[in-house]
Amino acid sequence: GEIKPEIREQIDQKVSEWREEGKAEIVPGVLFIDEVHMLDVECYSYLNRALESPMAPVLVFATNRGITRIRGTNYKGPHGMPIDLLDRLLIISTEPYSEKELSQILHIRCEEEDVEMTDDAQELLTKIGTETSLRYAIHMITVASLVCARRKGTEVDVQDIKRVYGLFSDVKRSTQYMIEYQNEFMFSEISQPDADGAPAPDAEAMATD
């Protein structure tokens, strides 16, 4: 069950006494929150108060959102977070991986999954990762190895990568397909193009997300 407030206060008081007497030392922990934009305004309010405590943990947030709505409100903020909380943080900006870095990451992933891949296949996979996403390229490794095994090959080759690329769409191609064939699906909420053939605003937003 829930610990009673009275017991919490007694424990806090005892710990404070031990700290003053030199019998105990409080070592702050680390709290890592991924997809922090999913928290609502009440959670942010709690974190704001918690940061003021001398025993507050080191907070590490991660998010991939830009200017978006703060959950629980009608307001927007950078990364979907309130400005007053952001002001307490040190923000580390990131940059897209270079083609060389992508190739190195994919090579390491192939080694971890015990997948033998030719240099040409890895070069093609790197190009695909550059044009789509690293996550999509990583997913292709295991599937390409299965395609290779089915043809009784020993190394994933260009033909295996092309086969997988044709079977499984990335986000951009899937989104484009949805836009082109929206009328073939149930409950489509994308409005039709206007008389001049220009795409609807919501369709444009969907294509660029």
- Judged against a pLDDT cut of 80, whether residue 172 lies above it is answered with yes
Residues in the chain: 209
| Bridge partners, 68 (sequence order) | 77
pLDDT at 203: 45
- Contact between 42 and 72 under an 8 Å Cβ cutoff? The reply is yes
Report residue 166: phi and psi, to 5°.
-75, -25
pLDDT at 204: 43
- 34-91: per-residue pLDDT in tens? 999 999 999 999 999 888 887 788 999 999 999 999 999 999 999 999 999 999 999 9
User: What average pLDDT does this structure show over 7-18?
Assistant: 88
Distance in angstroms (rounded) separating the CA atoms of residues 153 and 146: 10
Pairing of strands 30-34, 58-62: parallel
pLDDT at 197: 53
Would you state the structure tokens that stand for residue 74, as one six-digit string?
Answer: 């009608």
- Contact between 199 and 179 under an 8 Å Cβ cutoff? The reply is yes
- Contact between 177 and 185 under an 8 Å Cβ cutoff? The reply is no
Cα angle 158, 161, 166 (rounded to 5 degrees) comes to 125
Q: Which residues of 166-175 are buried (b: 16+ CB within 10 A; e: fewer)?
A: eeeebeeeeb
